[in-house]
Each structure stands twice: as C-alpha cells, then as structure tokens.
Structure 1
Amino acid sequence: MKKKWNSMKKKAGVLMAAVLMLGVLGGCASSSEESGRNPQEREPLKVAMDLKFPPFTGTDENGDPEGLEVDIAYALGEYLDRDIEIVNTDFSMLITSLETGEADVVISDMSIKEERKEKVDFSEPYLYGRTLALVDKDFAEKNHVTNDMTPEEFFSIEGERVVGLAGTISVSVPQSYGVEVEEVTEIASALMEINQNTADVLVGANTILGDHAANKDTTIVYEGIKEYSQSAMAVKKGNTELLEQLNSFIKSMYEDGGFYMEAGEKYDEAIGEYLQDESKGLEYRIYPPEGGVPEV
C-alpha cells in the first residue's frame, strides 16, 4: 500500500510540474504577444558609419558620436522603436561590416554605385551630391561662363583645357560630353594647374566649393552640370524587411514635421561652413539639383 501511495505521489508530482511548466510557457507567450514584438527586434540595431566626416558624422569632446547622420540613425531607432548602436567603421570596411554581421545597416553618405549594388541592397536616397566645376576666372570671363549655360555649351567651349583626377567623376563626366581630359593622379596637381592657368576646368563634387573658397581671386564655380550623386542607406543583400522599414522612414523624413523639417535649424550653419558657402545649408544636401521633394 505504501509503495502504491508513493507511486501515486510521483505521478501527481509529475502532473503538477507539467501544469506549472505550461503556465510558465503560457505566461511567456502571453508576455511576448502583449509586447507585439519579435524578440529579435528588441536587439539594438547596429548602424555602421565612419565617424570622421563632420558635420555629417563625427565625435564630440567626450568621444560620443555626433552629426547629421548620427541624428538620423537615432531618429530611425525612434521610428522603429529599437535601440541604436553606432558602430564606428572605416569607410572602406562599411560593406564588409554588413557581410560579416557586425552591422545591420550603413548610414554614412555612401553613394549608390553599380559595383556596390552587387554586394548590398540600397534604400531610396536621403542625401544628394552635386557635380560642380572649378573654372579658371580669366577663362570664365572671356567665354561668359554662367550657371545659366547648359553643360553641353559649357563643355563645347573652343580651346577648353580640362584636367581631372583619374578614376573619378572629374574625368568620367567631361568625357561623357565628348571632352578630352588630362588625367592626373593627385588632386593637388589638378588644383595647381587651374591656379597656374595651365588648365581651365576641373570637375568634382561638393568639395569644389571649398577649392573655390581657397582661391576666390582666380576661380569661379560653374553649377550647371546635371549629373549628381545619390547617397542611400545600405543593408545586407536580401534583407528586404529592414529595407522596407528604411524606405518608410526616409519618406517620413521629408514629410511635414519629419526629421528634415526640424534638422535645418541645427545643421544649416554647420553645412554652410563645411561647404564654405554660407548660402548653402541642409537643403543643398537633401534635395536633388532640380529641386522638389524626391519621391520615395
């Protein structure tokens, strides 16, 4: 009888343990359902960026990340209800950080290029870069160069001498208009040729504005070139769920009350100083050259 009682107690204990286990599991499931979030979504979103390019990415006096794109990353975290972990990564290793899983997304003024699209998936653009030309001032005045001149007219001026940095838009853009380009391997050499009047035109990106600011007496900037670059966020190939979330967030940035509507006051002056042109602020970087809100 005692043996039988002990056996019944063991069975009851097993049954009670099973009931308790079901209750625990049920509570966990209930808690998970109430949160409405996948446990993985509670992990910080790891954002890779190169913190060497203020006012877009940089660090403050305490070494903490700061800048326009840092604020964009934190705004993305609020939009997705996820914590953000900034992963400081050299620009050359940003794509690798996605491939190895060290980062979930890159937000670092990375322009969309065909060779990069083979390795990552890009969001819609959120920053734009102009293509500009640094022009010898005497040449510009002699040929009446203005921003109203079409690029076809600009690149067909008789006797025009164009210098460019090999492997960059300073060569490829003029060549696309049928212009012969003297290729150099150091940007300093190209700038020297413009300033010494041995070349007339140097095409480049936004840094052309700074080159002009340093040589205002001898150069002007031609802004009529149509080509422009588009910078986008990048994710690992095939991560369509995160990509859709990024596109939705970028669209919200341009809406009334969105991130960009609030960021101008903070970054207009800093971007103007960076471009060395006080007339150009945040809008210069967030809209394409033809103007208007980009479709996302």
Structure 2
Amino acid sequence: MRKRIAMILAAVLLIGSLGGCASSKSSSENEEGSSSKDTLKVAMDLKFPPFSGTDENGEPEGLEVDIAYALGEYLDRDIEIINTDFSMLITALETGEADVVISDMAVKEERKEKVDFSDPYRYGRTLALVNKDFAQENNITNDMSPEEFFSIEGERIVGLSGTISVSVPQSYGAQVEEVTEIASALMEINQNTADVLVGANTILGDHAANPDTTIVYEGIKEYSQSAMAVKKGNTELLEQLNAFIQTMYEDGGFYMEAGDKYDDAIGEYLQDDSKGLEYLIYPPKGGTPEV
C-alpha cells in the first residue's frame, strides 16, 4: 500500500512539474509575443545626414531618426531602426522585415500601388538652376510665372533623363535636351551652352558651388510630398501615423522643438543659411503637389 501511495504521489508531482513547465513556456511565449508586438520596426536608409545617418559609434541619428523615436513615444512602443538601402525599403514592408518606412520617400503613383502612404510630413521644392547671363538678359525673377519662364524664346533646357528635370519643363510644353549624367548638365549651365536645369532642393547646393555663373529660379509650382509608408492594408497603423503627424505641427509638437536642433544643419545641407527646417516641412504657397 505504501509503495502504491508513493507511486501515486510521484505521478502527481511529475504531472504538476510538467504542467508548470508548460505554463512557464506559454508565459515565455506570451512575453516574447508582447515584446515583438510592442516594438515598431522602422526602415530607413542611414546614408543621408542630417536626416538619417549614424554617429561616431555607428548609432542612428538625424531628423528622420528623431521622428521615429518621437513616434514611438506617441504610440508607447519601442522603436527598432532597420537600416535598409532605399531601393529595398518597400520590399522590407512587403516581407515584414519592417512595419513602417520613414525615409523621405516621395509619394508617387507607382509606389501607391505597392504601399499605403500616410499624410505628408516633408516637402521638396522644384527649382531651376539658371545661367546668370541668360537670367539677366531675360529679366528672370521669382515673380515670373512658370508658364512665362518655360516659354522664353531661344531657351535651352537640359535635363536628367527619367527625372523631374525633364518631366516638369515638358509639362509646360517646353523642349528638353536629355542627358544621362547630371555632371554634364551642370557643366552646360556653367559654360553657357545651356540655360536652364530643373531639379529638387539640391539645386540650391549647385548654385552655391557656382554663384558667379548661376542663379536659382524658385517660381515653379510643383512640389513633392514625402510620407511614411506601411504595408498595403495596414489601416490601423496608418491611422496612428496620421494622428501623430498632425501633432508634429501643433504648438509644442515635434517640429517646434526640432527647429532649434536642425535649422543650422539643414541650412548647411542646402548651402543656404536663410533656409532651415520650415523650408522642408511646409509646401510652397499656391503650389501644386506632384505624384
């Protein structure tokens, strides 16, 4: 009888032990699941300071990085930065490697077929680098309408194939000489063998490098919109992103504080000290969004 009782007790203890192990494993799995759920994986290309780069210790830093961490605070979620080449950002969403892209991704129709975009949080101007002699001869100022600007008699426009430097002038009915290297286009403007080169914010830097031979025309209406991207159909996260972006612009919001930190760095990046964070976070007045 004693042996039988001992065997029963041993069996009960064994079952209890196994039940405890199963419970512990299940608890561990829940904790892991919770941790995974609470961590928001943000993909960005860390090669574009001061917006997204790395510090001397290889840690992510920059405006986009700070936006990601601010988003994490807003959602009460941990943030994991996934350093991803720009060409692979959408793939990272599709494969689940990332939950959201925050990497100055411009909203384009072909991209909208693959991802869902949030409201815009950054904007890119469309500018023109103009040969200074040509500008003076034709009295070009920023008050000149783009329709008038792109219809100057004898105007020679050069543009990089497949970019806005071709598509924007053509949208106004202008003829464009297409090139495959931006360096050759810049050389033509500086050497007065071409008159106009359309581009994005980098045009400011091109002018700063050649102030004696160029001016910048800022009257073009088109502008790009940069937004956060999520996997197609992730409406819950998309709504959260839009709510967060709205707070960024409010008094006391992210952008109010970020200006103090990034104005100088952005002015240096644009090679124009008169332009800071506000130049990038608001669309030009009366402008037309590009998609």
TM range (shorter): 0.7 to 0.9
1:39 is displaced (CA, Å) by 2.8
Alpha-carbon distance in structure 1 between the residues aligned to 2:179 and 2:244: 41
Structure 1 residue aligned with 2:90, among 91, 95, 100? 95
Structure 2 residue aligned with 1:263, among 258, 270, 278? 258
1:159 is displaced (CA, Å) by 0.9
1:156 is displaced (CA, Å) by 1.1
What per-residue deviation string (whole Å, max 9, x for no partner) do you get for residues 14-33 of structure 1? Answer: 9x97xx99xx89xx8xx99x
The amino acid that maps onto 2:75 is L
> Which residue is 1:198 aligned to?
193
> Which residue is 1:35 aligned to?
none
Q: 1:244 to 1:92 in 2, by over 3 A?
A: same
1:207 is displaced (CA, Å) by 0.3
Structure 2 residue aligned with 1:58, among 53, 75, 78? 53
- Return 150-159 or 123-132, whichever deviates more: 150-159
What per-residue deviation string (whole Å, max 9, x for no partner) do you get for residues 77-117 of structure 1? Answer: 10111111111111111111111111111100000011111
> Which residue is 2:244 aligned to?
249
Say if 1:41 and 1:82, in contact at 8 Å, map to a contact too.
Answer: no
Q: 1:289 to 1:204 in 2, by over 3 A?
A: same
What per-residue deviation string (whole Å, max 9, x for no partner) do you get for residues 102-148 of structure 1? Answer: 11111000000111111111111000000000001011111110001
Structure 1 residue aligned with 2:142, among 140, 147, 153? 147
What per-residue deviation string (whole Å, max 9, x for no partner) do you get for residues 54-76 of structure 1? Answer: 00000111111100000000000
Alpha-carbon distance in structure 2 between the residues aligned to 1:108 and 1:272: 19
Which aligned pairs between 1:164-203 and structure 2 lie closer than 5 A? 164-203=159-198
Matched, 1:282 2:243: no
Matched, 1:107 2:102: yes
1:42 is displaced (CA, Å) by 4.3
> Which residue is 1:121 aligned to?
116
Matched, 1:234 2:229: yes
5+ residue gaps in structure 1?
A: 33-37
Secondary structure of residue in 2 paired with 1:123? strand
> Which residue is 1:218 aligned to?
213
Structure 1 residue aligned with 2:75, among 77, 80, 89? 80
Say if 2:221 and 2:286, in contact at 8 Å, map to a contact too.
Answer: no
What per-residue deviation string (whole Å, max 9, x for no partner) do you get for residues 143-183 of structure 1? Answer: 11000111111111111110000000000000000000000
The amino acid that maps onto 1:286 is I
Alpha-carbon distance in structure 1 between the residues aligned to 2:285 and 2:34: 44
Alpha-carbon distance in structure 1 between the residues aligned to 2:35 and 2:236: 13
Alpha-carbon distance in structure 2 between the residues aligned to 1:142 and 1:41: 63
What per-residue deviation string (whole Å, max 9, x for no partner) do you get for residues 270-291 of structure 1? Answer: 0000000000000000000118
Alpha-carbon distance in structure 2 between the residues aligned to 1:40 and 1:119: 28
RMSD of the alignment, in Å? 2.5
The runs of at least 4 aligned residues of structure 1 exceeding 6 Å deviation read none
Instruction: Number of aligned residue pairs: give it.
Output: 275
The amino acid that maps onto 1:180 is Q
Say if 1:56 and 1:70, in contact at 8 Å, map to a contact too.
Answer: yes
Alpha-carbon distance in structure 2 between the residues aligned to 1:42 and 1:191: 49
TM-score normalised according to structure 2 size: 0.88
> Which residue is 2:43 aligned to?
48
Alpha-carbon distance in structure 2 between the residues aligned to 1:155 and 1:285: 25
Alpha-carbon distance in structure 1 between the residues aligned to 2:252 and 2:260: 13
